[in-house]
Amino acid sequence: MKLLKYLEILRLTRISLEEYSNWGQDEIHKVTIATTSCNRDSFMKSAYQLSYTENINPQKELNNIKQRVNCCSKCSLGKSRLNAVFGNGAVDASLIFIGEGPGYDEDHKGEPFIGKAGQFLTKIIEAMNYKRETVYISNIVKCHPMIDPCNPEKRSNDRPPSLEEIKACIPYLDMQLEIIRPKIIVTLGASSTRGLLNNEEPISKIRGKLKEYKGIKLIPTFHPAALLRNSNLKKPVWEDMKKVIRYLETGEIW
Ligand code: SF4
Ligand code: URA
């Protein structure tokens, strides 16, 4: 039990160090000293002194990161967004969906996948016999990528995030994955698939193939917005989701 707690503290400390990589050198130095002490007892004491390990609670950890995202300006999307969209769902979800980025509706409400594509995603989740609240939903970037960033009130003002924006934002998703530790990631569309896999293959080629990201199984599929434009894509997406269900229910890899 003690060992488990010790390992949990190490894990959370690493997450926090990643988070603090945004801070100045002095702060990183302080935290590093506190966490690299050779003496186990003094390490435990130092680790406990860090407020974020006082009460290990994954929901609290997520809330802390959400607060940082809400005031993030690591890329230019931070200047034009109305609301950052952190993601939502179950903190212990086995399944996480990663979209491209917030659109108009999401930017206005601060919640992921609530527009038309989101309603379609809800249908897919329910067809899989899950509920939205029992999975986790987020995006590869947390702020709305706009064609015209001066006009957040304009509809159809969405664009895919740039690689630079994805690179700036990915540490937040990494932290979410560390805390939630899902069994499988479903990337929706090309942006999140490329962002996580560093792979230039078209989504039509790579979809349905088993991949991995940081030790977590990953399956790319088409974005629900693409399904709204082309209903022929529904069938392949359903094939992909059947693989996900099978993996979650039996642990078998297709
Ligand atoms: Fe920060 Fe990500 Fe928003 Fe860029 S998109 S400002 S990195 S939260
Ligand atoms: N499309 C996305 O990729 N993400 C959202 O949150 C909404 C629409």
**pLDDT > 90? residue 109:** yes
Pick the residue with more confidence: 181 or 49? 181
Domain assignment present for residue 64? The answer is no
Predicted confidence at residue 56, as pLDDT, reads: 74
Q: Are residues 220 and 155 in the same domain?
A: yes
**117 and 236 belong to one structural domain:** yes
Q: How far is the CA of 252 from the centre of ligand 2 (A)?
A: 29
- What per-residue confidence (pLDDT) applies to 25? 42
Q: Domain containing 237 — which CATH number? A: 3.40.470.10
* Residue 88: its H or E element: strand 88-89
Predicted pLDDT of residue 113: 98
Ligand nearest to the CA of 88: 2
Q: Is residue 2 in some structural domain? A: yes
Cα 140 to averaged position of ligand 2 atoms, centre (Å): 9
Nearest Cα neighbor of 180 from 116, 98, 90, 114 is: 90
Please indicate, yes or no, if residue 68 is contained in any of the structural domains: no
Judgement on whether residues 3 and 118 belong to the same structural domain of the protein: no
Same domain, residue pair 146 and 215: yes
Let me know if residue 66 belongs to a domain: no
The predicted pLDDT at position 44 comes to 39
Quick one: 42 and 138 in the same domain?
A: no
CA-derived radius of gyration, the chain: 19
Residue 61 located in a structural domain: no
- Tell me: pLDDT of 61 over 50: yes
Residues at CB less than 6 angstroms from ligand 2:
99-103, 106, 112-113, 115, 117-118, 139
Do the beta carbons of residue 135 and residue 95 sit within 8 Å? yes
**Dist CA 166 CA 228 (whole Å):** 25
Position 231 scores a pLDDT of 98
Residue 104 has pLDDT above 50, yes or no: yes
Q: Does residue 193 share a domain with residue 125? A: yes
Pocket probe mutation, ligand 2, options 69, 81, 106, 158, max atoms within 8 Å of Cβ: 106
Name the least confident of 9-13, 122-126, 185-189, 226-230.
9-13
Residue type at 240 in one-letter notation? D
Both 19 and 84 in one domain: the answer is no
Q: What is the residue with the minimal CA distance to atom 7 of ligand 1?
A: 169
Q: Alpha-carbon dihedral of residues 108, 64, 98, 87, nearest 10 degrees?
A: -30
Question: Does 114 map to a domain?
Answer: yes
Task: Provide the domain count of the chain.
Answer: 2
Nearest to 52 by CA among 43, 42, 62: 62
Q: Say if pTM beats, i.e. exceeds, 0.75.
A: yes
For the chain, give the number of residues.
254
- Range in 4-18, 78-92, 101-115, 212-226 the model is least confident about: 4-18
Could you list the residue range(s) of the whole structural domain that residue 15 is in?
1-56
Under DSSP, the state recorded for 188 is E
pLDDT score for 222: 98
Ligand nearest to the CA of 86: 1
Question: Are 111 and 209 part of one and the same domain?
Answer: yes
Q: Tell me the pLDDT tens digit for each residue of 164-177.
A: 999 999 999 999 99
Q: Same structural domain for residues 153 and 181?
A: yes
**Half-sphere exposure of 32 toward its Cβ, with a 13 Å CA cutoff?**
10
Q: What is the mean pLDDT of residues 5-19?
A: 63
126, 38: one domain: no
- Bridge partners of 97? 137, 186
* Mean per-residue pLDDT, 35-46: 37
- 63 located within any domain: no
Strands 184-188 and 216-221: parallel
Q: pLDDT > 70: what percent of the chain?
A: 78
Please check whether residues 123 and 227 belong to one and the same domain.
Answer: yes
**How confident is residue 6, by pLDDT bands cut at 50, 70 and 90?**
low
Q: Are residues 4 and 93 both part of a single domain?
A: no
